[in-house]
Chains A and B, each alone.
Chain A
Amino acid sequence: MTALLEVVGVTKAFGPIKAVDNLSISVGGNEFFALLGPSGCGKTTLLRMIAGFEKPDQGRIMLDGIDITDQKANRRPINLMFQSYALFPHMTVAGNVAYGLEMEGMRGADLKRRVDEALALVQLSSLSGRKPAQLSGGQKQRVALARALVKRPKLLLLDEPLGALDKKLREQMQIELKRLQQETGIAFLVVTHDQEEALTMADRIALLRQGRIAQLGEPRTLYERPDNRFVADFIGQMNFFDGQRAVNGFEVPGLGVFDAANLSDVAAGTAAALAVRPERVVVSETEHGGNLQAEVEGLAYLGQDLILHLRIAGQAKPLVARLPAANPLTTHIARGAKVWCGWSAAHSLILSE
């Protein structure tokens, strides 16, 4: 895969705070790439530098092998879909979509054809004469998308594209965005704070923390093999047991010595945490393979899953377990029940900060 966008060692500071700190990423020509992170991690600043609204203090930004660091925003073959959509309120839907093409000097039949195509792509042809104030949130989002896509940019930037939509619509649009990306063949770079959104849509994710990359990889890698505690905690839910690498395994005070998938990579004496996903915790009413005794302290019924908070003697925090509805245990387990729990060593990791 040849890189379409290359961000090389980019730094941007606002006052004493480095919003983006010597960061490098590269995005492929047909890739759906997500910049994920908590608010203030620098993801929006990075996006604005790629769009051309902020200038990096250091580093270069290359598009298709051409240095665009000093190119003006209106000259870059990149379009941005704004978080608030930023639709022009005095123009119709068609007027909004046509605007970018008019700036290229396109007029008449060509213009109309391209606008119609773009509106058809987002299924808004019937609303072309409306003003933005007459549209629902989801419709506005589609107009913003059509307006950005109609120019056929090499790269489309999306700033929290689904943030303003309600949950049902968001899930629907996640699939929709993925379809559009594959149909148009345009590279998408999405900024989001929603890990689920990133996992669902992206081919690759860069998880940012304080202006640096915490981990970059495919969704499955980030979820299953997080590099550190921050990544494991940010993406999905995770149980942590603080402890130390001993000679024969990882020792959690008061709980015992454990094996883990990456035990051999961790040097003896390292203070770290043993991490287990809730859905990997095995719970049973009898002692078989499970080795930790616990008491059910709380339950949360989610329909497809049942969340258990398990109190293990001597542990400050309860162990969270997630049982699928198909597990026979879920039909009768109650608060106060005594259970046995455990996990397979292959499903646990030793993670440092």
Chain B
Amino acid sequence: MVVSRRIVLTGPGIIWILALLVIPCALLLVNSFFERGIYGGIDYILTSENYVRAIDPLYAQIFWSSARVALITTLVSLVLGYPAAYCIALMPKRRQLAYLILVMLPLWSNYLIRTYAWMVLLNSEGLINKTLLGLGVIDAPLPLLYNDFAIIVGLTYAYVPFMILALFSSISKLGPELREASTDLGASSLMTFWRVTLPLTLPGVAAGSVFVFVLSVGNFVTPDLLGGGKRTMLGNLIYDQFLTARDWPFGSAIAAIVIGIMMLLLTVQAILVNRRDREGTAA
């Protein structure tokens, strides 16, 4: 009785995940070990050539530069997101909801449209350059668009809400008592943050950071549009292999590596959260 009910309730979810996540990922992994067919497609001859090729300096360089852009995006999101999350977590409960909705509001509009909006803002004839020129702050338009800066701005803008939400849940769990205890024992606000609040919210920092990093490293729309296609990131590389070069096995190999790195990061983060939860029972 209990077993059958469990199957009925979890069945649809399990089928969904199997059909749309597990099987495609397994296919991806399998394909990555075959050779590319002469006219696209796949020749079913086992090889590790695709992985060897992936660590070729040409492609390794794309890994590093993608990681760099994603890492900077993560850091900027953290620096912007932490104070915001902290403020919201300290508000009275009934005001928190309104602010959290404001944080999530941009996510309700189309990602492409939001990205195009940044193109309007950042281009050399755009609002920012026009304003600065008009005010006489600068003589020539700043190169704001079609570079790494634009990519980082776009990615940060898109993913900072996830950072704020992850940090918010971590900070609001903390409650005011530990901060008060720290103050009572003679700590300044800065010291309290450094010794109590930050260490105890590290799982939130990790969760938010992994989220932003993983989403950024795999993104291909923003590098295309805001980077002007000059900066190839992992997402673009995979996209190109599948749709332009029609080298599915190589695209699969790169995708498999990216998935592997993401799973590693998520595992580390899960371990951190787990450790925190065990300690948290003391509070």
Partners in one complex: yes
Bound CA–CA A33/B184 (angstroms): 20
**A contact residues around B279 at 8 Å (CB):** 89-90, 131-133
| Chain A proximity of B176: nearest CB distance (Å) | 9
A82 to B183, Cβ gap below 8 A? Answer: no
| Chain A proximity of B101: nearest CB distance (Å) | 27
A86 to B281, Cβ gap below 8 A? Answer: no
B280 to A99, Cβ gap below 8 A? Answer: no
| Chain A proximity of B279: nearest CB distance (Å) | 4
| Chain B proximity of A294: nearest CB distance (Å) | 52
The interface-forming segment of B5-13, B82-90, B186-194, B213-221 is B186-194
Using CB atoms, name the residue of chain A closest to B184. A80
| Chain A proximity of B166: nearest CB distance (Å) | 19
Q: Does A258 contact B (CB under 8 A)?
A: no
**A contact residues around B187 at 8 Å (CB):** 74, 99, 103
**A contact residues around B196 at 8 Å (CB):** 88
A82 to B200, Cβ gap below 8 A? Answer: no
Indicate whether A90 sits within 8 Å of B185 (C-beta atoms), given known contacts A103-B191, A133-B279: no
Q: Does A30 contact B (CB under 8 A)?
A: no
A132 to B282, Cβ gap below 8 A? Answer: yes
Using CB atoms, name the residue of chain B closest to A105. B186
**B contact residues around A100 at 8 Å (CB):** 185-186
20 sampled A-B residue pairs with Cβ under 8 A: A73-B180, A74-B183, A74-B188, A79-B184, A80-B180, A80-B184, A82-B180, A82-B181, A86-B180, A87-B282, A88-B181, A88-B200, A89-B282, A90-B279, A99-B182, A99-B187, A103-B187, A103-B191, A131-B279, A151-B186
Q: Does A104 contact B (CB under 8 A)?
A: yes
B183 to A73, Cβ gap below 8 A? Answer: yes
Q: Does B283 contact A (CB under 8 A)?
A: yes
**B contact residues around A132 at 8 Å (CB):** 279, 282-283
| Chain A proximity of B244: nearest CB distance (Å) | 50
| Chain A proximity of B276: nearest CB distance (Å) | 8
Where the two chains meet, the residues of B that have a C-beta atom closer than 8 Å to any C-beta of A are 177-178, 180-188, 191, 195-196, 199-200, 278-283
**B contact residues around A140 at 8 Å (CB):** 282
| Chain A proximity of B281: nearest CB distance (Å) | 5
A133 to B282, Cβ gap below 8 A? Answer: yes
Q: Which of A53, A74, A89, A131 contacts B186 (CB 8 A)?
A: A74
Q: Does A147 contact B (CB under 8 A)?
A: yes
Extra contacts, 14 of them, besides A73-B180, A86-B283, A132-B283 (Cβ < 8 A), are A53-B180, A73-B183, A74-B185, A82-B177, A82-B180, A84-B177, A88-B181, A90-B199, A90-B200, A104-B186, A131-B279, A132-B279, A132-B282, A133-B278
B177 to A103, Cβ gap below 8 A? Answer: no
What 0/1 pattern do residues 68 to 88 of A give for CB contact below 8 A with B? 000011110011101010111
B186 to A88, Cβ gap below 8 A? Answer: no
**A contact residues around B178 at 8 Å (CB):** 86, 88
B283 to A89, Cβ gap below 8 A? Answer: yes
Bound CA–CA A148/B184 (angstroms): 9
Bound CA–CA A86/B180 (angstroms): 9
| Chain B proximity of A143: nearest CB distance (Å) | 10
B177 to A99, Cβ gap below 8 A? Answer: no
What 0/1 pattern do residues 186 to 201 of A give for CB contact below 8 A with B? 0000000000000000
Nearest first, the 9 closest Cβ-Cβ pairs linking A and B are: A132-B282, A100-B185, A103-B186, A133-B282, A86-B181, A89-B282, A86-B177, A89-B279, A74-B183
Q: Does A51 contact B (CB under 8 A)?
A: yes
